[in-house]
Structure 1
Amino acid sequence: MKLLHVDASPKGGRSNSRALARYFIASLQEQGVNLEIDYLDLRQQPPAHIDRSFTIAAYTPAAERTAAMKQALEPSDALCRRVLEADAFVFAMPMHNFSYPSVFKAFIDNIVRAELTYLVDDSGHYIGQLSRQKALFITTRGTDMRAGQPLSHMDALTHSLQSAFGFVGVQAPTFVDAQPTQFAATIEREQALARARIELLAVARDWVKQLP
């Protein structure tokens, strides 16, 4: 299985989302899954935010693009190849102000590409090209946004990820959310991380069952 593992936390070694992603991957490997891991650390290799030259180039037919346009799209083209070639995704990130970090938004903007990760048919329908890939989103949240909690309605992260990746074809992504993880609440944070590890182990076992 070729696994694209993307970390988006700016915290490096202090990151809970990074630690949980490592735990999940180790759980797969311990069950004998042969993984080819394509790792991308967005803290170290942040995609460029899209600008005017990118937008013009992306919406110019491929046959009409100038050399400068092709150059502007090269990093995005490379990211699109990586997602298209993967069999599964593990995306790990903290919640920043109710959504994902800006560096992950840049990642999304670079991989949602017409004629690459989605097509438009003759009737105007959008056809995502990532329908064969499994996807796991591992998120950490400072506050508790589980159903029934006072701030559950402010979780823009989950819905935005579902929309963006659903558009490019990802079907039924799995979410494991560690919450709350505030540093001031030691017991609650450790309980949240323990719950997440239990959920991740279950997801790993489920993935193993679905292997051909």
Structure 2
Amino acid sequence: MTHLLHIDSSARGEGSASRRLSAEYVQAWKTHNPHGTVTYRDLAVDTPNFVTPGWITGVFGPADAANADTQAALEGSERLIREIEAADVLVLGVPMYNFGVPATFKAWIDQVVMAGRTFAFGENGPEGLLKGKKAIVLRASGSDFDNPAFAPMDFHAPYIRGVLSWIGITDVEIIAVNGFTPEQLDAAVREAGNAIAASVDAAPLAA
């Protein structure tokens, strides 16, 4: 049975374009995969912890310094990592904030990128351990960062592609909308519906 992990990170509620896009993608995926299952995590509501001294000690040691704080920090990471491990598909609603990702999404990344769990260093260098998964990123921004005038300031898409690749997820698709007004974003979201339908239809995700 195919499993999907749906993550939202926008601080907005109903007015969020990235939330609308991710919800539309998941609905299309459910139609395409009627027996598939979904796990949902809203990072704006259930925000992952930031990296703490206890987390650093828990991950990097020394072992004799482990205590209840380090154990609790690692349990939080482990829960998030297992959600990714269980998923065949990741649908990530990630708006652009100040040319990058929201702090809530960065906190999630910092919890799941862990040496020995999601990547390792071998004889041939670093290797991602979460292979065989597909990620679809639904992005909303004010400006069009495909425009050469704005492209140099896009620290969103390259970062997401890079960090997901680091943990082994190299099949990453980004569906982006942009607009400064609600009307512009509404039109962009409606148009993106075609891209979402094409994405689901062109790459059957059923196991």
TM-score, with length taken from structure 2? 0.92
Count of matched residue pairs: 205
What corresponds to 1:144 in structure 2?
144
- Where 2:174 maps in the other structure, the secondary structure is strand
Structure 2 gaps of 5+ residues are none
* CA contact 1:76–1:111 (8 Å) conserved in 2: yes
What corresponds to 2:127 in structure 1?
127
CA distance in 2, matches of 1:115, 1:76: 13
Q: 1:77 to 1:65 in 2, by over 3 A?
A: farther
CA distance in 2, matches of 1:78, 1:32: 25
Q: 1:93 to 1:37 in 2, by over 3 A?
A: same
* CA contact 2:36–2:206 (8 Å) conserved in 1: no
What corresponds to 1:55 in structure 2?
56
CA distance in 1, matches of 2:91, 2:65: 33
Structure 1 gaps of 5+ residues are none
Deviation digits for residues 60-94 of structure 1 (CA, Å, limit 9, x no counterpart):
27x65623322221101111111111111000021
Matches within 5 A, 1:93-132: 93-121=94-122, 123=123, 125-132=125-132
| 1:124 CA displacement | 6.1
Matches within 5 A, 1:153-168: 153-168=152-167
* CA contact 1:84–1:130 (8 Å) conserved in 2: yes
Q: More displaced, 158-167 or 31-40? A: 31-40
TM-score, with length taken from structure 1? 0.90
- Where 1:12 maps in the other structure, the secondary structure is coil
The amino acid that maps onto 2:37 is E
CA distance in 2, matches of 1:33, 1:60: 45
CA distance in 2, matches of 1:32, 1:85: 16
Deviation digits for residues 165-200 of structure 1 (CA, Å, limit 9, x no counterpart):
110000120000112x2126x2x3333223321111
- When the two chains are superposed, the root-mean-square deviation of aligned CA atoms in Å is 1.8
What corresponds to 1:183 in structure 2?
181
Whether 1:192 and 2:191 are equivalent positions in the alignment is no
Q: Which has the higher contact order (CA 8 A, sep 6+)?
A: 2
CA distance in 2, matches of 1:42, 1:96: 15
